[in-house]
Structure 1
Amino acid sequence: MPVKPPPELNHELIQDEDPNAMINYTDAIDYWSSVPASVNGVLGGFGEQTSVPKADIVGSATFLRKLQTRMECQPGFEKLTIDMGAGIGRITRDFLWKVSDRCDLLEPVKPFVEQMRKELVPVAEKGKLGDIYDIGMQEWEASPEKKGRYWLVWCQWCVGQLPDEELVKFWIRCKEALMENGTIVVKENIAPQDDIFDATDSSVTRTDAKFRQLFASAGLKLIASDIQKGLPRELYPVRMYCLKAM
């Protein structure tokens, strides 16, 4: 789920008593497999011809820079990051490799994975590309050799593809994957009043209150939060959350 316009501008958005019940993984994969494997495709038409990609990366870099003293890596460990729902690898390509020693990526849409391998050749040449997992978040669990070793888990514009219950389970697995003092960053669109289902990509846009509720259910402590600046006004607000294990 990329940047999106709010409900009054998008007639495919549906408010329902239980938006979670409407999420369908197959529908989501079918939709994302049908869009171009490009920045414009993964960002829902707000690609490099707009201000969105650059503003997004600048906002993420600024957010992490403010958190440097709270993200110290454990001695003897590498700064291992995993980019969840990574699309074609845009965030790793433009940002995450610069702050990490090595980057793993997870993406279930096969055309995106194929393009990702091309986009990340320069990252691989720098020795910073780790493993690529072509599975969904609901299927992922850190391998035994990586459990407890991740410095950063980055979840951006992807967790709306999971229902609440599955999302909590996913974040618990993310928490178990972290090294001591490891960090989870969640960066997502924010619904203004109630959770909203989007039939286009079979996803849910959640409220800030719902995110905070789900963080607590997963045993995650909210350390910092900020609003992404510089996005077009017609889009949902985007909020960044920094989380640690309780």
Structure 2
Amino acid sequence: MLGGLGQLARPDAVASLRFLSEFVNPPSASTASSILSSSASTPHSQSSNGTSESGSTAPATTSKAASARTKLPLPGTGPSHVLDCGAGIGRVTKQVLIKAFDHVDLVENSAMFVKQAKEEYLKPEIDSGRVGEVRCCGLQNVHFEGTSWEGRFDVIWCQWVLGHLTEEDLIAFFKKCQKGLKPGGLIIIKENNAKTGIVIDEDDSSMTRSDLVWKDMFQKAGLKLLKEEMQKGFPSGLFEVKMYALEFIA
């Protein structure tokens, strides 16, 4: 959710598609390439979505493992699938994920948002078959093993939702994701970053973690960081937003 800052939707989507393009071959009918080519003039001011906090611009970091990686979907696995976690009414699905993947499933905790996604915002994509299951469920209660989502996804996408999970629930969720991914699949995270430690939002009890805290969570969950990149094109004076591409350590 953009917290009333609707003007951030385009730079958010463009940055996400750029980040994904290093790991995923989009469907042949996708408009992702045209969106990326028209975004060369996107401003490079730094920051994010949420409570005010200034920060400096940091360059993207890519490991050798990321640069040498074969793009998803893997050969022989058929159409690409992505799970949108904490999807709200489906803004990220419609503006980003449907352009980069053949099929999108969603999980969202709010029954009101699920209803709006199904009956209004994503109805054309559902009717066309591009959007599949929309589960009404909190991430701490989502299950992959033994369901239709076991081994289904090339990417599990988490944006502006993980701050609602405690450390214990977050690590448990990451570990469960391994059962939802295809071989070689990725978890991609896009979240606010505090400068240090953890900042608590007293209004909704959410947590904004620092980069070091995020990386500690990744390590505890058995995840390897392939690439990290700061969101550009947002106004200054907000939390920085960072994207992380992760895979499970073999």
Per the normalisation by structure 2, the TM-score is 0.78
Deviation per residue, 1:3-54 (Å, 9 max, x gap): xxxxxxxxxxxxxxxxxxxxxxxxxxxxxxxxxxxxxxx321212xx2x111
Shift of 1:143: 4.9
How many residues align structurally? 202
Structure-1 separation of matches of 2:215 and 2:95: 28
Percent of pairs with identical residues = 36
Could you tell me how far 1:127 is from its partner in structure 2? Answer: 1.6
| Structure 1 match to 2:45 | none
CA RMSD of aligned residues (A): 1.3
Aligned to 2:2: 43
C-alpha displacement at 1:220, in angstroms? 0.8
Matches within 5 A, 1:189-228: 189-228=192-231
Q: Distance in 1 between matches of 2:205 and 2:70?
A: 35
1:124 aligns with 2:126: yes
Q: Which residue of 1 aligns with 2:41?
A: none
* 1:142 positional shift: 1.2
Q: Are the aligned partners of 1:82 and 1:103 in contact in 2 as well (CA < 8 Å)?
A: yes
Distance between the aligned counterparts of 2:77 and 2:183, measured in 1?
A: 12
Of residues 54-63 and 77-86 in structure 1, the stretch that sits farther from structure 2 once superposed is 77-86
Q: 1:79 to 1:172 in 2, by over 3 A?
A: same
Query: Hey, which bits of structure 1, 4+ residues long, moved more than 6 A?
Result: none
Separation (CA, whole Å) in 2 of partners of 1:166 and 1:70 = 31
Q: Secondary structure at the match of 2:79?
A: coil
Unaligned ranges ≥5, structure 1: 1-41
CA distance in 2 between partners of 1:166 and 1:76 (Å): 31
Amino acid at match of 2:128: K
The superposition leaves residues 140-192 of structure 1 with CA deviations (integer Å, 9 ceiling, x where unpaired) of 01152331221110000000000011100000011221110101100000000
The answer to whether the aligner puts 1:90 opposite 2:91 as a matched pair is: yes
Q: Deviations over 1:36-87 (max 9, x none)?
A: xxxxxx321212xx2x111100000011112345432231343111100001
Q: Tell me, what secondary structure is at the counterpart of 1:166?
A: helix
Counterpart-to-counterpart distance in 2, 1:125 and 1:114:
15
Q: Give the aligned partner of residue 43 of structure 2.
A: none
**Separation (CA, whole Å) in 2 of partners of 1:116 and 1:122:** 10
Q: Structure 1 pair 101/108, CA: closer, same or farther in 2 (3 Å)?
A: same
- Aligned partner of 1:23 in structure 2 is none
Any gaps of 5 or more consecutive residues in structure 2? 25-68
Between the aligned partners of 2:189 and 2:149, the Cα distance in structure 1 is 20
Following the alignment from structure 2 to structure 1, what is the Cα–Cα distance between the partners of residues 70 and 171? 24
TM-score (structure 1 length as normaliser) = 0.79
CA contact 1:161–1:204 (8 Å) conserved in 2? yes
